[in-house]
Amino acid sequence: MPEAVGVRKAQAQRTRSGVLAAASAVFVDQGVQAPIRDIAERAGVGVGTIYRNFPTRADLVTAVYRHQIDTCTALAPQLLEESGSPFTALTCWADAFVEFLVTKHGLGAALGSGDPGLENLHALMLDTLVPACETLLDACVAADELSPGITAYVLMRAIGNLCITGPDYDQADAKHMVATLLDGCRRKA
């Protein structure tokens, strides 16, 4: 009997992961207000399966972004370990953060919607991403690659403002401007 429970649990986790991946892709294409049926179709499941796993849209949006925030947060120490310099790690992390921000069509409106299920999402972003960025900044300052006094929150807000895309300003433009911003923060020899 325990083996059957383990198989069902693994299948449920695969289904949940598939729904999150599908929702993430649909949110990029259509925004967070995309029809649930589009997400179900992309995941290859019924609408009921989505509601069984995520009873409200806020639950689904929160789960998708929690996963992406956790991924971006975990990237900071990995990049510090793998990169040739802390500034290279910061630059790579900023690229991932730009990707995260630019693909969040409708998230700002959803956060401001007053939906109590989404209230904790902004705090989650601040509580996890700011310390991750702070770690990178501290390493850059310690390596004398970055001017001291730049705070993670202010840098992330600046990056966020540079990531507001529109008809004549796309993701490539945002990445270029963020690279320019980071270069301006870099300590010159």
pLDDT in tens, 143-174: 999 988 999 999 999 998 898 888 898 889 99
Q: What is the 3-state secondary structure (H, E, C) of the chain?
A: CHHHHHHHHHHHHHHHHHHHHHHHHHHHHHCCCCCHHHHHHHHCCCHHHHHHHCCCHHHHHHHHHHHHHHHHHHHHHHHHHHCCCHHHHHHHHHHHHHHHHHCCCCHHHHHCCCCHHHHHHHHHHHHHHHHHHHHHHHHHHHCCCECCCCCHHHHHHHHHHHCCCECCECHHHHHHHHHHHHHHHECCC
Q: Which pLDDT score is estimated for 100?
A: 84
Q: Which pLDDT score is estimated for 154?
A: 95
pLDDT in tens, 1-20: 566 778 888 888 899 999 99
Segment 36-46 mean pLDDT: 96
pLDDT in tens, 25-38: 898 888 888 999 99
pLDDT in tens, 75-96: 999 999 999 999 999 999 999 9
* Of 171 and 142, the one with more pLDDT: 142
Q: Which pLDDT score is estimated for 67?
A: 85
Q: Which residues contact 119 (CB under 8 A, 6 or more apart)?
A: none
Segment 36-59 mean pLDDT: 94
Dmax (CA) of the chain: 66
Task: Give which of 123, 155, 140 is closest to 187, Cα–Cα.
Answer: 140
Q: Which pLDDT score is estimated for 108?
A: 57
